[in-house]
Amino acid sequence: MKIYIDGRYYDEKSAKISVFDHGLLYGDGVFEGIRAYNGRVFKLKEHIDRLFCSAKAILLEVPMSREDLGKAVVETCRRNRLKDGYVRLVLTRGKGTLGLNPNKCERPSIIIIAGKIQLYPEEYYRKGLEIVTVPTTRNLHSALNPAIKSLNYLNNILAKIEANQAGCEEAIMLNAEGYVAECTGDNIFLIQNRRIFTPPLAAGALYGITRGTVMDLARSAGLEVFESNLTRYDVFNADECFLTGTGAEIVPVVKVDGRVIGNGKPGSLTTTLTKSYHSLTNSTGEPIYA
């Protein structure tokens, strides 16, 4: 595996960053997870744009242009002979002191890793996922805005631990007001009477790129899509439920907190949207091998 670090490529064993990097010491940085399908990088521009937005929110200057960063992502995929896979793009504050002050960091660092990922076992896509609601709430906008895709994922990790302790792979996180925000790594959607609902970004949901893609696909299919505050009651009584994310793609949910969703099987609209999504991912994107 060839890993990009600040303009150079390294073998996996020799790819290193400083122990004084504030991304390691304090989670001071941002990242993107990107997918490649059929020799193309899917939604590359959108991911690069979101990285720049996250960086701007924490006053972290990206040391490359959008165009050059996109080229580096594609080149990293090419050097790893990737056709279908996952790219982790990381921007850290860089090497600094043991103090918190980001102004003590020398320069930001960019890391690009291109490899494989399988977030959930294949059977969950066929049979559906069972999830729970956990006590850990989503970060407040006034504390650490969930729109920032930061390297500090401890809020999500604590919720993931609670999900694992309950015997589940994923969990619903509520916001401080008790509304559904998102899951630990995925956005959540409900379907009721052939209408699609998802929490608004203001509820604590990430600006999910897969989320936005699915919303576009649904509207193109003539379905109504609403961004509205949702409670656990809404989830329990949905006809269908599914999660979206770059790593997860679209995964159906069949049980939440012991309540069976719909008939307990992946729903027909979820299946239709999944097929449309796979068709799109396999036919669009930035070519790796032009």
Catalytic residues, which ones?
149
How far apart, in whole angstroms, are the C-alpha atoms of residue 112 and residue 118?
A: 18
First-to-last C-alpha distance (Å) of the chain: 21
Beta strands 2-5; 8-11: pairing state: antiparallel
How would you class 120 by CB atoms within 10 Å of its CB: exposed for 0-12, middle for 13-18, buried for 19 or more?
A: middle
**What value, to the nearest 5°, has the Cα angle with vertex 186 and ends 93 and 12?**
45
How would you class 212 by CB atoms within 10 Å of its CB: exposed for 0-12, middle for 13-18, buried for 19 or more?
A: middle
How far apart, in whole angstroms, are the C-alpha atoms of residue 290 and residue 288?
A: 6
Q: 70 phi and psi, to 5 degrees?
A: -60, -40
Compute the Cα dihedral for 187, 220, 231, 175 and give only its sign: positive
Q: 19 phi and psi, to 5 degrees?
A: -70, -10
SS3 208: coil
Compute the Cα dihedral for 148, 154, 157, 162 and give only its sign: negative
Contact present, 240 and 190 (Cβ < 8 Å): yes
